[in-house]
Structure 1
């Protein structure tokens, strides 16, 4: 469903690479992400925006290659 996402309430044990990636991309730790619903929403909205932008770029490259 476009525009909708699910945030699971199950506990996930983050790996060191997950922690690093989250901090580099959003400037927060996994504990901060996990403990604040508003932060989760902000991060997930940014991820969706980044994904949509990457899809637009891929489409542009595909058109140029044809």
Structure 2
């Protein structure tokens, strides 16, 4: 049995968010591997950037304590 993790129900709010953040709808994201990889790479970059920002803020807070 194969479970498709992309076979899920999605709402209109999720569709709007996908278009707003990545410029593509969920159906395109689901069907096109190259689009999915671009979206996931962008998400990864944004995640890493946010983690670096948090680490920087944490180090500033810890110095001032």
Q: Please tell me the TM-score bracket, short chain as reference.
A: 0.7 to 0.9
- Higher-RCO chain (CA-CA 8 Å, sequence separation at least 6): 1
* Larger Rg, first or second structure (1 or 2): 2
User: Which residue number corresponds to residue 49 of structure 2?
Assistant: 53
Number of aligned residue pairs: 59
Q: Please state which structure has a larger fraction of its residues in helix.
A: 2
Please report the RMSD computed on the Cα atoms of aligned residues, expressed in angstroms: 1.4
Output the CA distance in 1 between the equivalents of 2:4 and 2:40.
15
Q: Secondary structure at the match of 1:55?
A: helix
Q: Secondary structure at the match of 1:9?
A: coil
TM normalised by structure 2 equals: 0.81
Structure 1 runs (4+) deviating above 4 angstroms are none
Output the CA distance in 1 between the equivalents of 2:4 and 2:22.
20
